[in-house]
Amino acid sequence: MPKRSKSSQRWLKEHFDDRFVTRAQQEGYRSRAVFKLEEIDRRERLLRRGLRVVDLGAAPGGWSQYAADRVGPTGRVVASDILSMDPIPGVDIVTGDFREQAVLEGILAALGDERADLVLSDMAPNLSGTDAVDQPRAIHLCELALDLALRVLKPNGAFLVKLFQGQGSDEYLRELRLRFRRVAVRKPQASRPRSREVYVLARELRDV
């Protein structure tokens, strides 16, 4: 077996010493990322019974698990990812790239007759370690998520997206403020301090 690099060893130690990893395992969630959504939800009152939610880049499914529990049986959660996911009670899973028409139609069909109250995106690119490559990829995913949100959200709907601060992030925030009346940037405790990730919550679509 090849010897792990020092950075890999450091990441593994950080991961297994992480209290959010431990909590996720204890509480039956698929990833520690669920606690980012939980904190934002608790602060912003995003999720409640009966809402329709689209979760983009959903694998392995932690956010969808949490959302399904919060919206209950009268709500609906549609999870989409290019990666396959194990079934989650109360969640409709649409596998594939949502830029493709068939996948988009699958999301719309799963939503049913009504539009979404909330679109979630915790998407991130596969990182190369080179910021000049990774940052544009990350911003592009945010732009794709926004495009989808604009297509499926109700006029009073909300959009929560992971954004990596850096080149292009200010321009993206400006675009959100053109599209939505209220935009707030949040850094949950479960986001590692050294990470440049923040979560942007946009509410109340403008009629543009």
Q: Which residues are annotated as catalytic?
A: 162
How would DSSP label each residue in the chain? -PPPPHHHHHHHHHHHH-HHHHHHHHHT-S-TTHHHHHHHHHHH----TT-EEEEET-TT-HHHHHHHHHH-TTSEEEEEESS-----TTEEEEES-TTSHHHHHHHHHHHTTS-EEEEEE---PPP-S-HHHHHHHHHHHHHHHHHHHHHHEEEEEEEEEEEE-STTHHHHHHHHHHHEEEEEEE--TTS-TT--EEEEEEEEE---
How would DSSP label each residue in 123-182? --PPP-S-HHHHHHHHHHHHHHHHHHHHHHEEEEEEEEEEEE-STTHHHHHHHHHHHEEE
Which residues does the annotation place in the binding site?
61, 63, 81, 97, 122
Which residues does the annotation place in the binding site for S-adenosyl-L-methionine?
61, 63, 81, 97, 122
